[in-house]
Amino acid sequence: MYHRTIAKAHKDAHSHDHEHKVWSRRSFLQALGIGSTGSLMLAGNQLSASSVSPLAMALNKSDNDNILVLIRLAGGNDGLNTIVPVYDFDTYANARPSIYHKQSDLISLDSDFGMPDYMQPLEPMWGDGMMKVVHGVGYEGQNLSHFKSSDIWATANTEYGSDLTQGWFGKYFKESYQDFLLTPPEKPLAIQIGSIGNLIFNNEGEQFAFLVSNPRQLENIAKNGVQFNVNDLNLDCKSGQQQEFLRATSNSTYIYSGVISEAYNKAANKMEYADNKIADQLAIIARLIKGNLGTKVFMVTLNGFDTHANQPERHAELMGDLSKAINDFYKDLEETGHHEKVLGMTFSEFGRRFTENGSNGTDHGAASPTMFFGPALNGNGFVGNHPDLGDLDRNKNLKSTNDFRSLYASVLSQWLCIDQASVNNALAGDYENLDLGFSCNAEVPEPIDPTDPIAEVPEAFTHKPVYDAESNPSIALNINRAMHVDIQLYAINGQQIGTVRNSFMSEGTYVMSIKESLTDETLTTGEYIYRVTTHEGSSSKIVLIR
């Protein structure tokens, strides 16, 4: 039995190490710009920004100026040691004899739950009605892989192996604005720090957020702005053309650096934030909000929650940093009254195992609490039922009592005021709105009836980039009725390159080689945009030229 246990431990460790290698490989590919828009490496840091943002345009339709700050606790946060179930304390403590929190070390939230004393900075927020906790957030059949579960949370799709290329924001906004790539808004309405490779703002490889790998990078952009000179280059030679492409791509990446810099320099932090990673991120976000940038959605990241060993010390450090940073963030915003319009929400790919392991830590789990912050909550409290500590799943993990997509539905429809039909489409289902203390005053239309004959009319045309065995790119176009079609190719910075097709086309499927259509043009390696225009409208996508 002993040898079988040791063998299983080695197998689990190998699987876990492999998981991180796969995750790192994916992040590396993302940083190289494969499958993203305008990505590049600068000073060892990855920066990516779409030349336009469907998220920005769709949120511009909203009548309110509410802001959502997503706080990702990457690695899998231990919910049982974050919100401690005092109501069944003996069961909790017996499962974790080395890492449980003593009742004397807890801050009482009510008669049933407490939080560890190192989260003390959140106590006044709880007391002021600026904090709520949703119990048991997760999904049925939890996938215990960091990589896969992160994708599930980002795409709102629990059927792993299906189409996991569309984030819950990205899917909605791509559908709302098909031609977003060539019609950039004046300012970014989604900014993301860290979480390279996360799919929340992604749609089929297109990144719909201004993305930086760390707060120092965003701070430098915000202070200075960045643009490269593309005029003093020798375009008669190959190297000059490549330099022009790289500089133009960089300028496209930094398309919002001017407005970000203006907002950042117009405001100042009134709190002395702690010197830690999450505080650095929130301090910058506070300045951009106070500088009236107009961004609707931010995402910040705190890494390190994969606490297989030495959890007590590591978790105390992480949650202590988070608690202090959140408290300072809202105090900072309160100085200008912006805190009333800002909702904070934590999330993590999964919780931790109910029982501790043999390394003073916990292994991958399932359900975990989600915390919300802000005056808009209109009072503290708990939402939903806590998982039953005596009724675990087959992996000895807590069962979820609140589907994570209900949180998304609540935030999208009741906070960002996106119409319910679009929310249902983005989440691929109709999920119950939770009572978080706020509601949207905007008029919400009735969901589209799927039996309505109008809804059954097929799209006039669909398209996608395809590649042959030698990676030569073509555009696959399917037309459902005869029409005139104009297909233009653009550089990533919006410069028009040439015409792929401009003619009347009959109903059918076509595959058009880009290089054969543009034999007179010199196409350097890199990402391009193609736009398909008919009398039904325009739609654009990224294509990679090699």
Cα 138 to Cα 302: distance, rounded to the nearest angstrom: 19
pTM: 0.71
For 464-480, give one letter per residue: b (16+ CB within 10 A) or e: ebeeeeeeebbbebebe
CB atoms within 10 A of CB 68: 21
CA–CA distance, 260 with 291 (Å, rounded to integer): 9
CA distance 310 to 357: 10
d(CA 398, CA 366): 6
In eight-state DSSP terms, residue 176 is H
Q: Pseudo-torsion of CA 227, 231, 236, 242, nearest 10°? A: 0
Position 427 scores a pLDDT of 77
User: Other C-beta atoms within 10 Å of 457: how many?
Assistant: 9
On the question of pLDDT at 209 being above 80, the answer is: no
| Residue 29 vs residue 455, higher pLDDT | 455
Q: Range with the lowest mean pLDDT among 28-32, 306-310, 498-502?
A: 28-32
**Cβ–Cβ < 8 Å for 284, 264:** yes
How many whole angstroms separate alpha carbon 244 and alpha carbon 412? 40
State the DSSP H helix or E strand holding residue 535, giving kind and residue range, or none if neither: none
Q: What is the pLDDT of residue 285?
A: 94
Classify burial at 243, counting beta carbons within 10 Å of its beta carbon; exposed 0-12, middle 13-18, buried 19 or more: middle
231, 248, 180: which is closest to 209 by C-alpha? 180
Model pLDDT for residues 46-58, shown as the tens digit of each residue: 323 333 333 333 3
Across 278-287, 320-329, 385-394, 531-540, least confident range: 531-540
Residue of 542 and 212 predicted with greater confidence: 542
What pLDDT shows up at residue 537? 79
Q: Which residue in 197, 191, 209, 194 sits closest to 54, CA to CA?
A: 209
Residue 419, pLDDT score: 81
The sign one gets for the Cα dihedral 61, 344, 169, 419 is negative
Has residue 481 got a pLDDT over 70?
yes
Cβ contacts of 53 within 8 Å, gap of 6 or more: 173, 180, 184, 185, 188, 189, 190, 208, 209, 210
- For the ranges 166-175, 247-256, 438-447, the lowest mean pLDDT is seen at 166-175
Give mean pLDDT, residues 363-390.
Answer: 97
Dist CA 297 CA 287 (whole Å) = 14
Q: Per-residue pLDDT for 436 more than 50? A: yes
Domains (ranges, CATH) in the chain?
2-427 (3.40.720), 458-545 (2.60.40.3080)
- CB-based burial label for 410 (10 Å; 0-12, 13-18, 19+): buried
Of the two residues 430 and 95, the one the predictor is more confident about is: 95
Lowest pLDDT segment from 53-57, 215-219, 356-360, 533-537: 53-57
Q: Can you tell me which residue has the tokens 């290089």?
A: 515
Identify each DSSP E strand in 432-514 by its residue range.
461-467, 473-479, 483-491, 496-505, 508-513
**CA atoms of 160 and 164, how far apart (whole Å):** 7
**pLDDT at res. 440:** 82
pLDDT at 261: 84
Whether the pLDDT of residue 16 is over 50: the answer is: yes
- Position 189 scores a pLDDT of 61
User: How confident is the model at residue 31, as a pLDDT?
Assistant: 28
d(C-alpha 25, C-alpha 31), whole Å? 10
User: Nearest 5°: CA angle at 304, between 303 and 308?
Assistant: 150
Least confident of 1-5, 163-167, 260-264, 350-354: 1-5
**In 254-308, alpha helices (H):** 257-266, 277-290
Write the single-letter amino acid at 382.
F
Read off the pLDDT of each residue in 331-343 and give the average, rounded to a whole number.
96
Distances (CA, A) of 204 to 34, 36, 165, 201, 460: 12, 9, 5, 10, 20
Contact in structure between 291 and 223 (CB atoms under 8 Å): no
String of DSSP letters for 37-86: SS-EEETTEEEE--SS-HHHHHHHT-SS--EEEEEEETT---GGGTSEEG
Give the pLDDT mean for 35-60: 33
The whole-number average pLDDT for the span 100-123 is 98
For residue 517, pLDDT over 70 is answered with yes
Residue in 304, 55, 59 with CA at minimum distance from that of residue 192:
55
Residue 251 confidence (pLDDT): 55
Quick one: average pLDDT of 76-92? 98
Residue 345 confidence (pLDDT):
96
Higher pLDDT, 154 or 261: 261
What percent of the chain clears pLDDT 90, i.e. is strictly above it?
Answer: 48
Please give the single-letter amino acid code of residue 306: D
Please tell me the predicted confidence (pLDDT) of residue 108.
98
Please give the share of the chain, as a percent, with pLDDT higher than 70.
Answer: 67
Decide which of 443 and 232 is more confident.
232
Q: Which amino acid is at 501?
A: R
- Mean pLDDT (the chain) is 78
Residue 300, beta-bridge partner list: 71
Range with the largest mean pLDDT of 332-336, 413-417, 439-443? 332-336
Q: What is the model's pLDDT at position 42? A: 24
The SS3 call for residue 286 is helix
Looking at per-residue confidence, does 391 or 546 come out higher? 391
CA dihedral 375, 373, 189, 154 (to 10 degrees): -150
Rounded Cα distance between 152 and 163, Å, is 10
283-287, 423-427, 435-439, 453-457 — which is least confidently predicted?
453-457
* Mean pLDDT confidence for 411-418: 89
Q: Residue 35: what pLDDT?
A: 27
- Average pLDDT of 516-534? 87
pLDDT of residue 213: 56
Which segment of 202-206, 272-276, 488-492 scores lowest on mean pLDDT? 202-206
CB 351 within 8 A of CB 386: no
The one-letter amino acid code at 527 reads E
The DSSP bridge pattern shows strands 131-138 and 381-383 to be parallel
Q: Would you give the DSSP letter of residue 482?
A: -
Which of these, 140, 148, 136, 191, lies nearest to 169 by C-alpha position? Answer: 191
Least reliable range by pLDDT among 55-64, 250-259, 296-305, 323-332: 55-64
